[in-house]
Amino acid sequence: MKLLPLTPDGQTPVRVLTIAGTDSGGGAGIQADSRTMALCGVHACVAVAAVTVQNSVGVSGFHEIPPETVAAQVRCVVDDIGVGAAKTGMLASTAIIEAVAAVCTEVGIGRDLPVPLVVDPVCASMHGDPLLHAEALDAVRNTLIPIATVVTPNLDEIRLITGIEVVDDATARRAAEALHALGAQWSIVKGGHLRTSASSTDLLFDGDRFLEFSSPRIDTGNDHGGGDTLAAAIASALAHGWSVPDAVAFGKEWVTKCLEASYDLGAGHGPVSPLWRLRHP
């Protein structure tokens, strides 16, 4: 695959900001974002929105960071360091979503603004544990998705956000159209959780055209952090000035290789692993 260019030693690399929650088990969230960004060759900046209590088996609790503190992290990073792209992950509550949307608009992050924004609308963990208060779904629909350059929900999140159960190509296209209608510049319907298919096909839509990105389905239960990894890889490519279709193609190839390199961890689902990049310079 075509990798992102690496910055020569001593030169400042491209910067990408993740606004998300932590994962104490290290498989997903800000940990997965930062790991992916580092191995993509970009500098990861972080704004912590929530602290989770989780391991490979599930999430047993989370603590929200005050919305004004989340916004202040974004503002101080952009003001001093500057970023080429940003992504969101777990934002937990309506108040945090509103604070993030407001500060992103303030500092020039979002669709039709200088800095592209990848929105991963995290609603629940892969185990089904809630990571978003139920009443915050309206804020996801009406406040967060409308500022997205690209929105990257999984099939469970699509069902919660749009009410559409994706079971085949026709319903995937309906879901992509519904997500785009909420205001995202580009919408992705990811096929990784459509277990009945022999391949994993992600569908990208910009309001006019559908683009498909397919890969062989990887037979593994170790897929923790796959959505975070995909979104972080897309954001890293966007920060390099790549087009959205090219960035999505890169992200798709990247996460597929991370699935191939995934490993067991604990008693539950192990993480996808970008460590393959160290063996393939």
User: For residue 168, with 0-12 CB atoms within 10 Å meaning exposed, 13-18 middle and 19 or more buried, which class applies?
Assistant: exposed
| pLDDT value, residue 192 | 62
Read off the amino acid at residue 112. Answer: D
Residue 52, φ and ψ in degrees, nearest 5: -100, 155
Strand partners, 214: 201
Domain residue ranges in the chain: 15-264
Q: How far is CA 145 from the centre of its chain?
A: 13
CB atoms within 10 A of CB 104: 25
Strand partners, 150: 118, 186
Q: Which residues contact 91 (CB under 8 A, 6 or more apart)?
A: 19, 20, 21, 49, 50, 97, 100, 122, 132, 136, 144
| pLDDT value, residue 189 | 97
| pLDDT value, residue 193 | 56
| pLDDT value, residue 196 | 63
Strands annotated E in 7-149: 15-21, 43-54, 59-64, 85-88, 117-119
Length of the chain: 281
Q: Which residues contact 168 (CB under 8 A, 6 or more apart)?
A: none
| pLDDT value, residue 194 | 67
Name the CATH topology of 15-264.
UDP-N-acetylmuramoyl-L-alanine:D-glutamate ligase (3.40.1190)
For the chain, 281 residues long, the average pLDDT of each consecutive 10-residue run is 96 98 97 98 98 94 97 98 98 97 98 98 82 93 98 94 93 97 97 70 97 93 96 98 98 97 97 94 70
Stated pTM of the model: 0.97
Query: Are 41 and 7 contacting, i.e. CB atoms less than 8 angstroms apart?
Result: yes
Residue 217, φ and ψ in degrees, nearest 5: -75, 130
| CB crowding 18-41: b at 16 or more within 10 Å, else e | bbbbbbebbbbbbbbbbbbbbbbb
| pLDDT value, residue 95 | 98
